[in-house]
Amino acid sequence: MASASGVASPYQENANAFAARGGVEKKEEDVSKDHEFGDLEGDFDAGSSYDTTKRKLKPRHIQLMGIGGTIGTALFVQIGRALMKGGPASLFLAFTFWCTVILAVNNAISEMVTFMPITSPFVRFAARFVDESFGVAAGWNFFIFEAALVPFEIVACTQILDFWGASETVPTGAIIAICIFLYAAINSTVVKYYGESEFWLALGKMLLIIGLLCFTFITMVGGNPKHDAYGFRYWKNPGAFAEHYETGGLGKFMGLVACLIQASFTIAGPDYVAISAGEAEDPRRVMPAAFKAVTYRLAAFFVLGSLAIGVVVPYNDPEMVAAFGEGKPGAAASPYVLAMTRLGISGLPHLVNALVLTAAFSAGNSYVYCSSRCLYGLALDGHAPKFFTRCTKHGIPIYAVLVSLGFGLLSFLQLSNSASVVLSWFISLVTASQLINFSVMSISYLCFRRALAAQGIARDSLPHTTYWQPYTTYFALLCTGTMCIVGGYEVFLPGNWNVPTFLFSYTMIAVFPAISIGWKIVKRTEMPAPEDIDLFTEERAIIDAYEKKLCAF
């Protein structure tokens, strides 16, 4: 097997050893015969057992798609709930700490994805490197996680529109239906059109957060209609730390924990970059740069964003407390919008609210894409019905897209419950799923390292390596595992018991092992020994041949 440069692949010895043990190793010439490569975007005609999506996503698409899935209403609206519970200092500390956890996860998944850039990578890595049953559970967990975020963002869109009193003039059900229709239209076209739409929507998000950070700095030094240089006033009055449930030091600690829970829901990044690997043009060149950019996004968007929120709004703001604490409509007035209104800035609150609306819509669009590709990847490996592998002539896994869109119908729950209540349910569900997903990535990476060592493959021969491994991965696994348990602890406090909240907080923690154990019993799977793990020898041959053809042009 040759690499894209024509030089012997650093994985050749491992591939030959695997073949000698009875595995199947194809030479590049055999792969070329099996797969007729089309254009430079990576089209190839393959059987149903192979990935038939198209490599049409360019570097700029990958970079901005990582932002598109990461930044949604949680950073602009829901973050106010955490501020209310913990105060500005707790919010800043929690978000800064959790960024280090996600950076550790990013380091782990980046090494594996650049090694083998395939569709639904971390799900298939879990099945290959750990155990098939573990991968099945990981895949369905990630699918539910991404699919549940679709109705979350749709409900958020209806809330944001309530800033203009939309629910009084347009039926909420009609708004929900329009969102689902638009998602269907965008995700049913050629993937490069999806990438292009997400590029511009994500670019708008990036400009929005930069603009809000600039707004924070300018207004805090007196650049506002009231000429009020408020600085860090709200860190002094009402204070840097809020008391949550209890008073004194315990109450402030519980406020910090509440902010950590919100951070674990809000902050993401590597999963949205990784999911696009199977449709990335020239993936082994593009993906390392995309993963490295996650570091800067974490610092710029989440660390600075959490600091800015605590500067512009006090944690006891009456309107914010009414929106989140009492479940009243109008939570679409994000903390930034509340600050602009209080400072007497006319016009700008409407512009920002409109941009936050596009951010919510863009995030939902990303979740349809990610969940459909995950379901497609599950079907490729035989862990979901085979018809989900069916693609249109443009490489769109259409049935997987339709199922993902079907989850959007859950947003109609809003018609019989308060929007803020429905949002809190979805937040609890997806937070647990996201934490499980990050834990899966960490475990898969540790098993991947064991396989490399057992098969005599030097880690520095990989296309991309990161610092301080495997210690950062152990750190990530400890933190994500702990937060899985802590995430719904408030439901056990006196007077807080609520069945829906409990179920949404802990269902996935029970479902994950149930799926894994059930599959293991039925299929009688076994955890492979490190020396027997097939490090995607055949799939690597396909990508090596594709990259060699790409370099030839």
Model confidence at 192: pLDDT above 90? no
Answer whether the bond into residue 151 is a cis peptide, omega within 30°. no
pLDDT per residue as tens digits for the range 215-247:
999 999 999 999 999 999 999 999 999 999 899
Q: For residue 49, what pLDDT band results from cuts at 50, 70 and 90?
A: very low
Model confidence at 364: pLDDT above 60? yes
Residues in the chain: 553
Q: Specify the pLDDT at position 326.
A: 62
Residue 125 or 275, more confident: 125
Phi, psi of 2 (to 5 degrees): -105, 155
Residue 230 or 30, more confident: 230
Q: For residue 21, what pLDDT band results from cuts at 50, 70 and 90?
A: very low
Enumerate residues 6+ apart whose C-beta is below 8 A from 439: 477, 480, 481, 484
Residue 179 or 9, more confident: 179
| Cβ-count burial 265-287 (b if 16+ within 10 Å, e if not) | bbbbbbbbbbbbbbbbbbbbbbb
Q: Specify the pLDDT at position 29.
A: 44
Model confidence at 166: pLDDT above 90? no
Inter-CA distances, 415 with 158, 420, 526, Å: 11, 12, 47
Write down the residue that tokens 């997400």 correspond to.
Answer: 198
Q: What is the largest CA-CA distance in the chain?
A: 77
Q: Specify the pLDDT at position 423.
A: 66
Q: Specify the pLDDT at position 327.
A: 56
- Whole-number average pLDDT of the chain: 81
Phi, psi of 24 (to 5 degrees): -110, 120
Cα separation of 223 and 225, whole Å?
A: 7
Model confidence at 210: pLDDT above 70? yes
Residue 189 or 452, more confident: 452
Model confidence at 527: pLDDT above 60? yes
Residue 337 or 394, more confident: 337
Cα separation of 152 and 425, whole Å?
A: 9
Residue 199 or 376, more confident: 376
Model confidence at 162: pLDDT above 70? yes
Cα separation of 320 and 336, whole Å?
A: 11
Cα separation of 296 and 290, whole Å?
A: 11
Q: Which amino acid is at 82?
A: A
Model confidence at 331: pLDDT above 70? no
Model confidence at 18: pLDDT above 60? no
Model confidence at 449: pLDDT above 90? yes
Q: For residue 191, what pLDDT band results from cuts at 50, 70 and 90?
A: low
Model confidence at 39: pLDDT above 60? no
Instruction: Kindly tell me the burial class for residue 549, based on how many C-beta atoms sit within 10 Å of its own C-beta (0-12, 13-18, 19 or more).
Output: middle
**How much of the chain exceeds pLDDT 90, in percent?**
31
Q: What is the mean pLDDT of residues 319-341?
A: 72
Q: For residue 12, what pLDDT band results from cuts at 50, 70 and 90?
A: very low
Task: Classify domain 12-552 at the CATH superfamily level.
Answer: Amino acid/polyamine transporter I (1.20.1740.10)
Q: Specify the pLDDT at position 306.
A: 93
Phi, psi of 37 (to 5 degrees): -75, 135
Instruction: Give the least confident one: 234-238, 277-281, 463-467.
Output: 277-281
Cα separation of 195 and 64, whole Å?
A: 9
Asked if 143 and 376 touch (Cβ cutoff 8 Å), the reply is: no
Q: What is the mean pLDDT of residues 47-62?
A: 59
Q: For residue 63, what pLDDT band results from cuts at 50, 70 and 90?
A: low
Q: What is the pTM of this model?
A: 0.81
| Cβ-count burial 512-546 (b if 16+ within 10 Å, e if not) | beebbeebbeeeebeebebeebbbbbbbbbbbbbb
Residue 118 or 385, more confident: 385
Q: Specify the pLDDT at position 325.
A: 64
Q: What is the mean pLDDT of residues 81-89?
A: 93
Q: Specify the pLDDT at position 155.
A: 85
Which of the residue ranges 288-297, 353-362, 475-484 has the most confident prediction, judged by mean pLDDT? Answer: 475-484
Inter-CA distances, 30 with 25, 87, 211, 541, Å: 10, 62, 53, 9
Q: What is the 3-state secondary structure (H, E, C) of 409-459?
A: HHHHHHHCCCHHHHHHHHHHHHHHHHHHHHHHHHHHHHHHHHHHHHCCCCH
Q: Specify the pLDDT at position 256.
A: 96
Q: What is the mean pLDDT of residues 27-36?
A: 41
